[in-house]
Amino acid sequence: MGEVGLAFIQDEEHRPKLSITESDGIPVIDLSILNTINEGHYDSIKELVTQIGDACREWGFFQVINHGVPTDLLNRAFSASKQFFSQAIEEKRKVCRDEVNPLGYYDTEHTKNVRDWKEVFDFTVENPTFIPASPELGDQQLQELRNQWPKFPPELRETCEEYVVELEKLSYKLLELISMSLGLPAKRFNDFFKNQTSFVRLNHYPPCPAPELALGVGRHKDAGALTVLLQDEVGGLDVKRKRDGEWYRVKPITDSFIVNVGDIIQVWSNERYESVEHRVSVKSQKERFSIPFFFNPAHDAMVKPLDELTDDQNLPKYTEYNWGKFFKTRKLSNFKKLNVENIQIQHFKTAN
């Protein structure tokens, strides 16, 4: 990674403050009952729905075990990721992302304006995926995004495509549990995800020579609906608890997934559930790998507080916005300085 990443954070503004509270942290939820009931038989999972709702309300994060995704697939996904990142930088940059196609590989040194100490490889769930050609054009003109796959390792593409099938199934299950926890029908959100813009990211955090000066990923909130993260045994994910503003380290649990609600759930729920800040700390001696699945709706989805969750006593806290325009603007900001502040859901906040 060189010293480029550190150069961005020498100033006080970006110097990370790594005070971390060690505790049991975010809730751990057992999903095994979902593997033993027939679809639609929801009476037997009321307790599970309550646990999901409590975790979303109090933390915005939870960890799931016995989720049904095969362990062998998780191991193969990590193995293929490690093989890809172990190559020479020249090989990895043969599938570099750019302004035309934001899918593929990038690293701190190549992108220049990224402060995070990591390298990544992105690919979409639906191939091709469609987003607005520019934020201003919206649905009038669409850009077609296609995955680009490296030659090595040869099994990377097949493994990743198998992985997204399983993660999509799990994400819909989680979405339905969250919907029920809000008092809504299980499939209330599902139609938003037809022609979804979901994508997966392979993350590699190399050992950092000065971990006290860098973060693998700086503090942020996720813009989409759900993030389902697979992390290795090294750990490093920190979550900021809403109740006290303290940072809590998420302890790795083998074969588990860490789930957090994103900004879209915050808007849909009219802030019953909130997207929460999180970050990744790096280590001086150990490298870290993780694989987040970003579950996002279609480009033409209009995002606003749901009518069922608003009334005269609970007025909508956000005006409606188009997800495709929002997503495209966020992607553009990775490559060039825009004339506006990086778009956030706070830009759509009402006076209520």
Give the residue-averaged pLDDT of 182-206: 97
pLDDT for res 43: 66
Q: Is the pLDDT of residue 334 over 60?
A: no
Give the residue-averaged pLDDT of 120-136: 90
Domain over 4-348 is classified CATH 3.40.50.2300? no
Alpha helices in the chain (DSSP H): 4-7, 46-58, 71-85, 89-92, 108-111, 156-181, 263-268, 323-332
Banded model confidence at residue 1, pLDDT cuts 50, 70, 90 = very low
Chain-centre distance of CA 283, in angstroms? Answer: 22
pLDDT for res 4: 37
Banded model confidence at residue 171, pLDDT cuts 50, 70, 90 = very high
Q: Which residue has the tokens 């503090």?
A: 219
pLDDT for res 38: 63
Cα(138)–Cα(329) distance, rounded to whole angstroms? Answer: 11
Q: Is the dihedral of CA 124, 125, 128, 133 positive or negative?
A: negative
Give the residue-averaged pLDDT of 6-21: 44
Q: Is the pLDDT of residue 213 over 60?
A: yes
Banded model confidence at residue 109, pLDDT cuts 50, 70, 90 = low
222: helix, strand or coil:
coil
pTM > 0.85: yes or no: yes
Cα(300)–Cα(289) distance, rounded to whole angstroms? Answer: 33
pLDDT for res 335: 45
15: helix, strand or coil:
coil
Q: Is the pLDDT of residue 330 over 90?
A: no
Q: Is the pLDDT of residue 288 over 80?
A: yes
pLDDT in tens, 59-91: 999 999 999 999 999 999 999 999 999 999 999
Give the residue-averaged pLDDT of 314-320: 96
pLDDT for res 285: 85
Q: Say which range, 104-113, 136-145, 343-352, has the weakest mean pLDDT.
A: 104-113
Q: Is the pLDDT of residue 108 over 80?
A: no
Give the residue-averaged pLDDT of 264-284: 94
What is the percent of the chain with per-residue pLDDT over 70, rounded to a whole number?
84
pLDDT in tens, 228-247: 999 999 989 999 998 889 99
What is the percent of the chain with per-residue pLDDT over 90, rounded to a whole number?
69
Banded model confidence at residue 333, pLDDT cuts 50, 70, 90 = low
Q: Which of 42-51, 147-156, 208-217, 243-252 has the highest mean pLDDT?
A: 147-156
Banded model confidence at residue 163, pLDDT cuts 50, 70, 90 = very high
Cα(244)–Cα(169) distance, rounded to whole angstroms? Answer: 34
Banded model confidence at residue 139, pLDDT cuts 50, 70, 90 = low
Mean pLDDT of the chain: 87
pLDDT for res 296: 98
Beta strands in 232-274 (DSSP E): 237-240, 247-249, 257-261
Q: In sequence order, what DSSP letters do the residues of 30-49 get, joined into one string?
A: E-GGGGTS-TT--GGGHHHH
Q: DSSP character for 13?
A: G
Q: Is the pLDDT of residue 30 over 70?
A: yes
pLDDT for res 324: 93
Banded model confidence at residue 11, pLDDT cuts 50, 70, 90 = very low
Own/partner long-range contacts of 1-5 (Cβ < 8 Å, ≥24 apart):
1/107, 1/108, 1/109, 1/117, 1/119, 1/206, 1/208, 2/108, 2/109, 4/108, 4/109, 4/112, 5/108, 5/109, 5/114, 5/115, 5/116, 5/117, 5/208, 5/214
Dig out the tokens for 36 from the structure. 């033993």
Give the residue-averaged pLDDT of 328-335: 66
